Amino acid sequence: MGKRAAVAVAGLVAAAGAVTAAVYGGYGGESDGDGTDSVESVTVGGGERHVIPSPEAGQRELLLSDLAALDPTVTADEDAAVESARWLCVDIRQGRPEDEVRDAAAQRFRVTWEQSAQVLDAVRGTFC
């Protein structure tokens, strides 16, 4: 790798680190004051509607159980399933039309339109 390429890669890594730190609140050593730093929920923009929620351990297990009951392939990658559920919750909180949210659920989880309603029930019923 040439010197220019190495410098470019180092710059990209530094920029990615700064963005990650800023998003997760750790940039500059700031804390929420309770002595614990958490990345469970990340605020995008402002207000409650823009918080990207994350299920607690028990909620995660219940969510994955509900989704697996619908179709076991949906939870083959548990982390991806939870991440998709988190983004569906954002859509729900932003007040997007139900049909649009169901379309997103069908696409994210690769399920039928009918199953997308059950996916949303699982998301709403566990942590959203």
Q: Provide the mean pLDDT of the chain.
A: 75
Single-letter residue type at 67: L
68/28 Cα distance (integer angstroms): 41
Tell me which DSSP letter residue 77 carries.
S
pLDDT of residue 7: 35
Token pair, residue 73, equals 């392939």
Model pLDDT for residues 65-75, shown as the tens digit of each residue = 999 999 999 99
Q: Tell me the helix, strand and coil percentages in the chain, rounded to 5.
A: 70, 5, 30
Model pLDDT for residues 72-105, shown as the tens digit of each residue = 999 999 999 999 999 999 999 999 999 999 999 9
96/99 Cα distance (integer angstroms): 8
Token pair, residue 100, equals 């649009």
3/31 Cα distance (integer angstroms): 38
- Lowest-pLDDT choice from 11-25, 74-88, 100-114: 11-25
Give the global pTM. 0.62
